[in-house]
Amino acid sequence: MHPFLTEENLHWKAKAHEVAEKVVRPLARKYDELQEYPWEIKDALAEAGLLGVWIPKEYGGAGAGVLNLCLCVEELSRACGGVGVAYAVNALGSFPILLSGTDEQKSKYLPMIASGEKLIAFGLSEKFAGSDAAALRARAVKTENGWNLNGEKKWTTNGGVADLYSVFAVTDPESQRNRISAFIVEKDTPGFTIAKIEDKMGIRAVPVVELDFENCEVGDDSLLGGKTGQGFKQAMLTLDHARPGVAAQGVGLAQGALEYASVYANRRRQFGKNIGSFQMLQGMLADMSSQVAASRYLVYAAATNIDNKAPNISRLAAEAKLFATDTAMKVTTDAVQLFGGYGYMKDYPIEKYMRDAKITQIYEGTNQVQRMVISRWVLKQARELEYLCNYLPDETQKGVDPSEV
Ligand code: CAA
């Protein structure tokens, strides 16, 4: 029996593990080299029923929620970080519909995503609006029958292979609080093109692209939730639900790298001994293992809280994303170190883990943005701890107004 995971959790974890070991790991290097979308892996994921894990049963999914999604992402990323995100990004793209769509939008789109018939991507970032997402410039203007979209999107993962796109655009440039709205855009809509396919350091199995909209006409029914001005909040709500998935990618990458490193430490001989017998390497492996475990339980806690509709999910999702992806970078770098010269070479699978890990500290909000989100919550909560001022010397508090924070 697992201390935290239920039978249902273990079922999804085992299913994803099986696909990861039978299909993903043997193909990981091929798709890293080719930098092509792994359609044969996507088919295996669809066949195993993994593409609709987080989608409610009434819309054709498994209704298994965010924790089970994270368990699947972790297992897939353990074998290949690119496949882990190729899978998880469908959750990122579909969360706007799931969390904010109208009943019609959910019924129209979620079943085709759950079955794997259609892939979906998320278009928020732009060249001049990355961390400062609210500064985006893509524009949607009301027409008689719908909306006219113009502008660009940057770093859209799954772009080009996805059939559907959650796209954020300015509908009310004069408004401070309600500038942005979200739209569901279908791939073949005239005026919508892929402007550039990026050549990337890691996660090479999944495309990351620029989207271009030039007089792209979409219907009124494309407006997410049927309401304008909600786009920024819909994007933030989506990211709160999706960031644990990036964190799970970090856990999987770190776990996968630790496994290769520990197998190597048992076999590689230097100075007449297995290198695993040296205390310096034992210390490294112990730190790596403890950090992976701590990350994993933070991700499980964040995902469980999201499934339980806890109130402070922004903070929990950001903490899991920050800690697990910083851990992924550290553990995968240490794993390369442990492999020595071989670790730096592409003949060995380990350098790919380090390349795949780097982006997890950047996308779905840089870890600097996660620190902003977390510290805002910490300082807000401190207002409920005002009684602690009684234990602070008077001079600390002179002229201080806590509401300024
Ligand atoms: N849920 C609901 N509402 C939220 C919210 C949340 N989590 N966070 C903020 N809001 C609301 C606020 O309450 C506020 O509402 P009011 O105006 O009614 O008061 C409004 O949104 C503005 O909030 P902030 O003042 O906090 O906004 P900000 O401009 O300071 O930005 C930020 C905050 C956290 C930095 C945010 O911009 C952010 O998360 N940036 C990173 C964006 C990001 O993650 N991009 C990645 C895109 S996906 C990707 O990486 C590509 C891919 O394909 C994988």
Pairing relationship of beta strands 164-170 and 120-123 according to DSSP bridges = parallel
Atom of ligand 1 nearest to the CA of 362: 50
Q: Which pLDDT score, from 0 to 100, does residue 374 have? A: 98
pLDDT tens digits, 218-239: 999 999 999 999 999 999 999 9
Report the distance separating Cα 249 and Cα 357, nearest Å. 8
21 is catalytic: no
The domain limits of the chain are: 7-119, 121-229, 233-379
Q: What is the 3-state secondary structure (H, E, C) of the chain?
A: CCCCCCHHHHHHHHHHHHHHHHHHHHHHHHHHHHCCCCHHHHHHHHHCCCCCCCCCHHHCCCCCHHHHHHHHHHHHHHHCHHHHHHHHHHHHHHHHHHHHCCHHHHHHHHHHHHCCCCCEEEECCECCECCCHHHCCCEEEECCCEEEEEEEEEEEECCCCCCEEEEEEECCCCCCCCCEEEEEEECCCCCEEEEEECCCCCCCCCCEEEEEEEEEEEEHHHEHHHCCCCHHHHHHHHHHHHHHHHHHHHHHHHHHHHHHHHHHHHHCEECCEEHHHCHHHHHHHHHHHHHHHHHHHHHHHHHHHHHCCCCCHHHHHHHHHHHHHHHHHHHHHHHHHHHHHHHHCCCCCHHHHHHHHHHHCCCCCCHHHHHHHHHHHHHHHHHHHHHHHHHCCHHHHCCCCHHHC
Tokens of 62: 């498994």
Residue 261 in contact with residue 353, Cβ under 8 Å?
no
Residue nearest atom 25 of ligand 1, based on CA coordinates:
134
Atom of ligand 1 nearest to the CA of 246: 54
Residue nearest atom 27 of ligand 1, based on CA coordinates:
134
CA of 236 to the centre of ligand 1 (A): 5
Q: Return the CATH number of the domain spanning residue range 7-119.
A: 1.10.540.10
pLDDT tens digits, 310-362: 988 999 999 999 999 999 999 999 999 999 999 999 999 999 999 999 999 99
Residue 24, class by beta-carbon neighbours within 10 Å (0-12 exposed, 13-18 middle, 19+ buried)?
buried
Atom of ligand 1 nearest to the CA of 133: 37
CA of 301 to the centre of ligand 1 (A): 22
Using most ligand atoms within 8 A of CB, pick from 181, 233, 243 the residue to mutate for ligand 1. Answer: 233
Q: Which pLDDT score, from 0 to 100, does residue 394 have? A: 77
Report the distance separating Cα 255 and Cα 261, nearest Å. 10
Q: How far is CA 244 from the centre of its chain?
A: 7
The average confidence (pLDDT) of the chain is 96
Which residue has 């074998």 as its token pair? 79
Query: Confidence class of residue 116 from pLDDT cuts 50, 70 and 90?
Result: very high
What's the whole-number mean pLDDT along residues 132-154? 97
Q: How far is CA 323 from the centre of its chain?
A: 14
Report the distance separating Cα 321 and Cα 367, nearest Å. 8
Q: Which pLDDT score, from 0 to 100, does residue 1 have? A: 75
Query: Confidence class of residue 107 from pLDDT cuts 50, 70 and 90?
Result: very high
Residue type, 374: I
User: Is the confidence at residue 86, as pLDDT, over 90?
Assistant: yes
Report the distance separating Cα 73 and Cα 57, nearest Å. 20
Residue 215 in contact with residue 159, Cβ under 8 Å?
no
Right CATH number for 233-379 from 2.60.120.260, 1.20.140.10, 3.40.50.300, 3.40.50.1820?
A: 1.20.140.10
Q: Which pLDDT score, from 0 to 100, does residue 4 have? A: 85
Q: Tell me phi and psi for residue 216, to 5 degrees.
A: -85, 115
CA of 377 to the centre of ligand 1 (A): 13
Using most ligand atoms within 8 A of CB, pick from 208, 232, 243 the residue to mutate for ligand 1. Answer: 232
Using most ligand atoms within 8 A of CB, pick from 131, 234, 236 the residue to mutate for ligand 1. Answer: 236
Residue nearest atom 49 of ligand 1, based on CA coordinates:
364
CA of 131 to the centre of ligand 1 (A): 9
Residue nearest atom 10 of ligand 1, based on CA coordinates:
233
Atom of ligand 1 nearest to the CA of 93: 53
Atom of ligand 1 nearest to the CA of 237: 1
- Of 74, 210, 319, 364, which one is the catalytic site residue? 364
Residue 36, class by beta-carbon neighbours within 10 Å (0-12 exposed, 13-18 middle, 19+ buried)?
middle
Count the Cβ atoms, other than its own, within 10 Å of residue 145.
Answer: 9
User: Is the confidence at residue 371, as pLDDT, over 70?
Assistant: yes
Report the distance separating Cα 283 and Cα 371, nearest Å. 28
Q: How many residues does the chain have?
A: 405
Residue 121 in contact with residue 157, Cβ under 8 Å?
yes
Residue nearest atom 17 of ligand 1, based on CA coordinates:
177
Query: Confidence class of residue 402 from pLDDT cuts 50, 70 and 90?
Result: low
Residue nearest atom 12 of ligand 1, based on CA coordinates:
233
Query: Confidence class of residue 186 from pLDDT cuts 50, 70 and 90?
Result: very high
Residue 122 in contact with residue 96, Cβ under 8 Å?
yes
Tokens of 158: 């799954």
Q: Which pLDDT score, from 0 to 100, does residue 398 have? A: 64
Residue 209 in contact with residue 195, Cβ under 8 Å?
yes
User: Is the confidence at residue 404, as pLDDT, over 70?
Assistant: no
Q: How many CA atoms lie within 13 A of 82 on its CB side?
A: 28
Query: Confidence class of residue 108 from pLDDT cuts 50, 70 and 90?
Result: very high
Q: What is the 3-state secondary structure (H, E, C) of 294-353?
A: HHHHHHHHHHHHHHCCCCCHHHHHHHHHHHHHHHHHHHHHHHHHHHHHHHHCCCCCHHHH
Query: Confidence class of residue 151 from pLDDT cuts 50, 70 and 90?
Result: very high
Residue nearest atom 40 of ligand 1, based on CA coordinates:
131
From the list 295, 187, 155, 167, the residue with the least C-alpha distance to 238 is: 167
**Total-model pTM:** 0.96
Task: Give ligand 1 pocket residues (Cβ under 6 A).
Answer: 89, 92, 122, 124-125, 131, 133-134, 155-157, 177, 232-233, 236-237, 239-240, 314, 363-365, 369, 372-373
CA of 95 to the centre of ligand 1 (A): 15
Structurally, at CATH architecture level, domain 121-229 sits in: Beta Barrel (2.40)
